[in-house]
A = this chain, B = another copy of it.
Amino acid sequence: MTENLNLLGWTCPVPLQNYPTIVMSHGAGGRMMADLIQHLFAPAFENDWLGQMGDSTAISLQSLLESIQGGTSVNKQQSAINMAITTDSFVVNPLFFPGGNIGELAVYGTVNDLAMRGARPLFLTAGFILEEGLPMEVLGNVVTAMAAACKKAGVKVAAGDTKVVEKGHGDGIYINTSGIGLIPAGVDIGPANARPGDAVLVSGTIGDHGIAVMSVREGLTFQSEIRSDTAPLNGMAEAMRAAGSLHCLRDATRGGLAAVLNELAAASKVGIEFDERKVPVRPEVNAACEMLGLDPFYVANEGKLVAIVPAESAEVVLAAMQTHEYGREASIIGRVVEAHPGLVTARTAIGGTRVVDVPAGELLPRIC
């Protein structure tokens, strides 16, 4: 096989040479995954759309139509509409956990990636990789959950695919969902839009999903059950957009709140400061994190978003979140600053300030 590979002529760029093989951290949403994207995927597939590096990619409807009509003009209203497109594979282990299962994650995860660009999610595709020996009952219930989740989120599955791999070459079910939606004219929400002075909001308690999955995987029991927060955020995102101006939205999945804030700071070339005490964390999640040696700021969520909004919109957007079922515990946690661009700092409970860094690699593997 080595001869075949050499014929294709890829040479490993220096930043990837420390890891001659793929390790779990390459998929964990931290710096090692970013390295893989930056030094392998992005240069290979280089194009303006992939270069947006958002939760989903915006594609001008006008450019689409022109590609097929050969320059026929579209009307002014349509020319400002963008399509959003995204993809996500789900490999969560176990398949069922308190508060949800892989089917719901697969729908809401992709719906949320579309909503974080201000898009109205419309259609999903669903690709299943099933492992030989999977009980039909498990598949049936996952698909039932996906269908219910689609109804709740208001999307349709427009195309599907099923592959089966031999026992020992999968893990029950892997699901890929890709999604398309439309971004209304005039909506411009993206990771590079944060400006100094903006307020930073989070939509509720963080760390619930990661700890819920870990609790099953590690056989931990807590006094009160910790449930995943998996939920479709498109409805709340629309309500927020109706209430005020939004610069950035991001759902805090792999790498948690810390990864998202760092990505936004880097993309917008601004600093972000937040107050640890203002970030809602359930006491039982805090306790579990202490026991497991985890920082809740790095634990994955599947139904929480971070919003960066102009200061004058902060209160109205917060109110819109708090009146929505998925944003009752929303909070303004910090602000965007001109100082230390690309850096996220937190005011700690004891009054000090610390740098909240990008997670390097593996925190909780296969959390989504």
Contacts and interface: CB of A to CB of B under 8 A. Distances in A.
Interface of A: 1, 4-5, 8-12, 16, 19-28, 33, 36-37, 40-41, 44-45, 47, 49-50, 56-57, 59, 64-65, 67-69, 72, 74-75, 77-78, 81, 85-91, 94, 96, 101, 120, 122-123, 125-141, 143-147, 150, 156-166, 168-171, 174, 176, 178, 180, 182, 184, 365-366
B22 A176 contact: no
A127 B168 CA distance: 21
A146 B176 contact: no
Contacts of A4: 96, 101, 141
Given A8-B145, A64-B122, A87 B132 contact: no
Nearest to A81: B68
A20 to B, nearest CB: 6
Contacts of A12: 136-137, 140
A114 B166 CA distance: 29
B96 A5 contact: yes
Copy number in the complex reads 2
Given A24-B132, A75-B75, A40 B87 contact: no
A144 B22 contact: no
Contacts of A140: 10-12, 40
Given A67-B182, A129-B174, A156 B96 contact: no
A165 B366 contact: yes
B159 A85 contact: yes
A127 B178 contact: yes
Contacts of A169: 169-171
A203 to B, nearest CB: 23
A125 B178 contact: yes
A171 B160 contact: no
A196 to B, nearest CB: 29
